[in-house]
Structure 1
């Protein structure tokens, strides 16, 4: 399957090749921009802000898990000694699972859970990101599939078990901040003015 996709990429029009190369990296920036937008949109509700922050948190956790898996599994890249659309990463930059696919899936599922209306856009975007990693020759299809599963499951678990605690914590912190007593500052009046309170004389 990898050979067929890479061969198709090599025979595709130049504009399609350029689009694949651009999207395989720029797609991550799109997901980052969407995370910032969802955070901005959540204001001024502290509970919604807390939930929006779970998206980058889940993405970071999924990325760390994928990096740990790479160090254990140590699968070499499929692009060694091949001509592909992107330069093959250096030796020691392992292939399984795909970090790009992991990040894209975690971000997409997290964004969809934080704001359901994004689901029809971000979920296909994550699949396209995964396909682009094979299209440019950087990963085997099973690397991408593993990354998509890892990112999706991680994001779902983070939202499943942390949404309640972080929402409750945000509400409690906001309530405590609102209960803090505030005392008005005394008004300073000019000397000789008999109306209103005055500051005590200096000693």
Structure 2
């Protein structure tokens, strides 16, 4: 793998210099923004996106609420598993960071002394994005777009080769998709049990009783009661 890091006609290195070269021409404040976004900002955005999707599913409710929430729980779990899978991969490949083998790179983040292939950030964000897509396509497309932006940022910052990012995308996607059926089978019964418990509000808005029934506001009537009253008046 180290051979890929050698300069010349290698498109991986050429693309690295092309993308990282944008940092040299950009204003200092923009580089600082990209540094924060690429290191922390997009990870936080992914977490907030999953929470937003959970809130939307919870408010919508329905019979499939438990399975939908279970699929959302899989998103952060998939990211964690994918990063763990990457640990032996990094140790086996042992690819140095690009700034260790190439001169003239504008490195925006210091202290990166671990191996480069594959990118943890790209792996984590793509795993969450793909798992979120399985649960909800609309939110998932946004998550995948954030993951792609994360990959660009890692190369822009000079801490990863493009192939590090592509490898992270592939690893995150594989873990999220291949283990999704097993995760759904294990998490859905757990989500249904939570729905029937006093913590049912985590699954459906308004659920909080032990029998899993919707908690109505005092003095409010259910739709069934209102419908029955209208039929009585019509009769």
**Normalised TM-score (structure 2):** 0.67
Match of 2:48 in 1: 33
Match of 1:150 in 2: 171
Q: Give 1:1-80 correspondences, 5 Å limit.
A: 1-25=15-39, 26-43=41-58, 45-80=65-100
Distance in 2 (alpha carbons) for counterparts of 1:110 and 1:27 = 16
User: Is the contact between residue 100 and residue 130 of structure 1 (CA under 8 Å) also seen in structure 2?
Assistant: yes
Distance in 2 (alpha carbons) for counterparts of 1:117 and 1:126 = 15
Kindly provide the CA deviation profile for residues 1-27 of structure 1, in whole angstroms up to 9, marking residues without a partner as x.
212222222112345423321210210
Deviates more, 1:16-25 or 1:127-136: 16-25
Distance in 2 (alpha carbons) for counterparts of 1:134 and 1:106 = 19
Distance in 1 (alpha carbons) for counterparts of 2:142 and 2:195 = 33
In structure 1, list runs of 5 or more residues that go unmatched. 180-203
Kindly provide the CA deviation profile for residues 55-96 of structure 1, in whole angstroms up to 9, marking residues without a partner as x.
1111110111112211221111001265524234343x1100
Distance in 1 (alpha carbons) for counterparts of 2:82 and 2:152 = 19
SS in 2 for 1:79: helix
User: Is the contact between residue 54 and residue 158 of structure 1 (CA under 8 Å) also seen in structure 2?
Assistant: no
User: Is the contact between residue 71 and residue 134 of structure 2 (CA under 8 Å) also seen in structure 1?
Assistant: no
State yes or no: 1:163 paired with 2:184: yes
Kindly report structure 1 stretches of 4+ aligned residues shifted beyond 4 Å: 172-179
Deviates more, 1:109-118 or 1:127-136: 109-118
**Normalised TM-score (structure 1):** 0.76
Kindly provide the CA deviation profile for residues 11-61 of structure 1, in whole angstroms up to 9, marking residues without a partner as x.
123454233212102101111122223334443643332222111111110
Larger Rg: 1
CA RMSD across the alignment: 2.5
